[in-house]
Copies of this chain bind each other. A is one copy, B any other.
Amino acid sequence: MRLVDQYRHVRHQTNVVCQPLQIEDYMAHSAPWASPAKWHLGHTTWFFETFILIPFVQEYHAFDSRFNFLFNSYYNAVGDRLARAHRGSWSRPGVSDIYRYRQVVDEAIIGCLSVSEEQIPQEIRSRVVLGLHHEQQHQELILTDLLHHFSVNPFCPAYTQRRPRPSTPVEALHFEVFQGRIAEIGHVGDDFAFDNELPRHRVLLHPFALANRLTTCGEYLAFIEAGGYHDPKWWLSDGWDVCRANNWEAPLYWRREQGKWHRFGLHGLVEIEPEQAVAHVSYYEADAFARWSGARLATEFEWESVFASATPEGSFVDSQTYEPTTLRAIGEVWQWTASAYLGYPGYRPFEGALGEYNGKFMCNQFVLRGGSCLTPSSHFRTSYRNFFSPETRWQMTGILLAKDVLR
């Protein structure tokens, strides 16, 4: 696909994601670590304006110079910015102003790209591609932030209607053994990858075993019912503190009503289905569940060594199911790995302000792999490294078990 068509497609998809929103929904801001949809729309647009139009398009004038303050997320190199906790506290510019901003920027970018492919300067090309992947990350965040927002609303609004889905039998859990070896890890090829997927390098793997499928709600429920949330022996020390301080009793969005467990999702409140992949667990819960199960989480290197050449045929957001529908490791729920988020040997951030994209966050976070039912499929790679701090639960995060193999 030509770059200009990719641009049109991805930017359009953001509109598709927002299509069910009322104007009020764009303002919603229910937690300091989330952002209103209005901000996401502005921020992704600001990215193209700041990193492409302003430096490279001479005749372009900033749509509104004050937007830099509003829509900068964390790029210290690009100036002051609104504190994240205040992202919900401004009503002007309004939603229609933001859409107008998007349109102006889109026209300018499309103008740039409406030449033959080889005429697009390499720096612009690579920044547009980065901007589109950035936009796709925010498409997922718009949905997860909105879900959180709806979840605190006593009216339990649904983002969309649930489609009937055939119930499929759950394959019995077993562990497949993989031999120790030296594996090549990291992105390969000329296609786009984030700087944190590079450089490709060798890692020595010890023998391990990996579950044949994701952990289900039913399996996780057994952990709850066995008192897992009330026995410190399964938990990391920090995890236990967080669990007790917040009175965690189940994954985020699970609620016990009339004696039955339900979960709140983008289709509203539905009963727990035991065969569905569990989601909205923190690293602490994933790790405790694994320990209780006599297992552990996989490292990101084990994960990648197994799935590097897997075909990505999961739900992804393209399916518009907005919930996990299979138990495959790709495209259903992000899986917490046992790997802290750090740079690969020889890691180099992108140059300039864009270097703040990934490298700045390499502490106190764990890597997640696999993509989710809210991830655009064209955004995903098997070398993709998502990362969140271990108490994070509002993302579509689940569990894939692993085990040591005694040598």
Contact call A89/B340, Cβ cutoff below 8 A: no
Complex-state Cα separation, A407 to B199, whole angstroms:
11
Residue in contact with A25 in the complex, picked from B74, B91, B340, B362, CB distance below 8 Å: B91
Complex-state Cα separation, A237 to B75, whole angstroms:
10
A270 within 8 A of partner (CB): no
Give per-residue flags for A350-382: 1 if the beta carbon is below 8 A from chain B beta carbons, else 0: 000000100011111010000000000000000
A333 contacts which chain B residues (CB < 8 A)?
none
A233 contacts which chain B residues (CB < 8 A)?
76-77
Contact call A66/B26, Cβ cutoff below 8 A: no
Query: Interface-forming stretch among A111-119, A127-135, A148-156, A321-329?
Result: A148-156
A29 within 8 A of partner (CB): yes
A202 contacts which chain B residues (CB < 8 A)?
204, 206
Complex-state Cα separation, A206 to B313, whole angstroms:
35
The count of residues in chain A whose C-beta lies closer than 8 Å to any C-beta of chain B is 67
Residue in contact with A346 in the complex, picked from B38, B70, B404, CB distance below 8 Å: B404
Chain B, residue nearest A199 (CB)? B407
Give per-residue flags for A54-92: 1 if the beta carbon is below 8 A from chain B beta carbons, else 0: 000000000000100110001011000010001011111
Contact call A90/B153, Cβ cutoff below 8 A: yes
Complex-state Cα separation, A159 to B45, whole angstroms:
28
Contact call A69/B342, Cβ cutoff below 8 A: no
Give per-residue flags for A23-64: 1 if the beta carbon is below 8 A from chain B beta carbons, else 0: 111111110000000100000000000000000000000000
Contact call A76/B240, Cβ cutoff below 8 A: yes
Q: A89-B152, A91-B149, A155-B93 are in contact. Are A238 and B23 (CB under 8 A)?
A: no
A284 contacts which chain B residues (CB < 8 A)?
363
Shortest C-beta distance, A253 to chain B (Å), equals 16
A218 within 8 A of partner (CB): no
A170 within 8 A of partner (CB): no
Shortest C-beta distance, A9 to chain B (Å), equals 28
A239 within 8 A of partner (CB): yes
A30 contacts which chain B residues (CB < 8 A)?
86, 89
A306 within 8 A of partner (CB): no
Chain B, residue nearest A283 (CB)? B363
Complex-state Cα separation, A303 to B390, whole angstroms:
27
A121 within 8 A of partner (CB): no
A362 contacts which chain B residues (CB < 8 A)?
236
Complex-state Cα separation, A239 to B364, whole angstroms:
11
Chain B, residue nearest A68 (CB)? B154
Complex-state Cα separation, A240 to B363, whole angstroms:
12
- Sorted from nearest, which 9 A-B pairs have the closest CB atoms? A340-B340, A76-B232, A24-B91, A204-B204, A27-B27, A237-B360, A30-B89, A25-B91, A206-B345
Add 13 more A-B contacts to A23-B94, A76-B232 (CB < 8 A): A23-B23, A24-B92, A24-B95, A25-B91, A29-B89, A70-B154, A77-B232, A90-B152, A93-B155, A203-B204, A236-B361, A237-B356, A338-B342
A sample of 11 cross-chain residue pairs with beta-carbon separation below 8 angstroms, ordered by A number, consists of A23-B23, A24-B95, A25-B91, A76-B232, A77-B233, A88-B89, A92-B150, A202-B206, A235-B360, A340-B340, A346-B404
